[in-house]
Amino acid sequence: MNGIAHYSGFEVVRAAMEVEKNGHRFYSTMAQRATHDLARELFTLLAQDEVEHLRRLHQVEARFRAGEFFADDAEIIPYLRRFADQQIFPSAERLEAVLQGDDGDRQALALAIDAEDQFAAYFALAAKQAKDPDGQAAFTWLAEEELRHAALLRERQTQLAAG
């Protein structure tokens, strides 16, 4: 969390864009490989939700540009991709191992819940530490969206366990 208090709204939005791209890949992969209709349907919905988040973030990005800290995309994008790859969603190798298991859908749901919970907790803590009001607002919105995802995943996990 080092340095998060000083993230501008622009930096938060750009980091979130990279995370949403990874989330789309993550959920798209799970949707393609799911064996249960309930899981496939949810993963497809979440993949589409990540695209919608990305669209909304593109719309909001202009509002935060005035407070940007990094003007050079070549400097910030590799950092944000590393953040998104390492901080939020499981690696492609870990996902592949889970999906090849006997109970891949349930394990993938558990993996997704864990990722969404971590994402929500990270951004909630970041919102508390943020000094920039735009950064704080962006972190709060992201935390709420990921909590909503985790709730959907838990609901589907319960349905799969019952079915």
Confidence of residue 1 (pLDDT cuts 50, 70, 90): very low
**For residues 88, 91, 94 and 95, what is the CA-based torsion angle, rounded to 10 degrees?**
80
Q: What is the mean pLDDT of the chain?
A: 78
Q: Please check whether residue 120 is in contact with residue 150, taking contact to mean a CB–CB distance below 8 angstroms.
A: yes
- How confident is the model at residue 83, as a pLDDT? 52
Predicted local distance difference test score (pLDDT) of residue 74: 55
Q: Which CATH architecture has domain 4-162?
A: Up-down Bundle (1.20)
What separation in angstroms does the CA of 128 have from each of 25, 36, 92, 118, 120? 29, 39, 31, 16, 12
pLDDT at residue number 149: 92
More confident residue, 43 or 79: 43
Torsion of Cα atoms, 39 then 110 then 32 then 82, to 10°: 140
- Whether this prediction's pTM lies above 0.85 is answered by no
Sequence spans of domains, the chain: 4-162
